[in-house]
Structure 1
Amino acid sequence: MPLAVSGVGLWLLRLLTAAGLAVDAYVHADLAGRYDLVGGDISQGTLFRLEAAVASFAALLILLIANRITWAIAFLVAASALGAILLYFYVDVGRIGPLPNMYEPLWYSQKTTATVAEGVAAAAALTGLVVTWQAPRHRRKPSESP
Structure 2
Amino acid sequence: MPRSQQHSSGSEGDRSDRSISDVVAVVDDRKKRRMISNRESARRSRMRKQQHLDDLINQVSQIQRENSEIVKRVSATTEMFMKVDSENSVLRAQVGELSERLQSLNSVLHSIEEVSGFAMDIPQMPDPLLKPWHLPYPSQPIMASSHWLP
TM-score in terms of structure 2 length: 0.31
Determine which structure has greater relative contact order: mean sequence separation of CA pairs < 8 Å that are 6+ residues apart, divided by chain length.
1
TM-score, normalisation: structure 1: 0.31
Return the index of the structure with the highest Cα Rg.
2
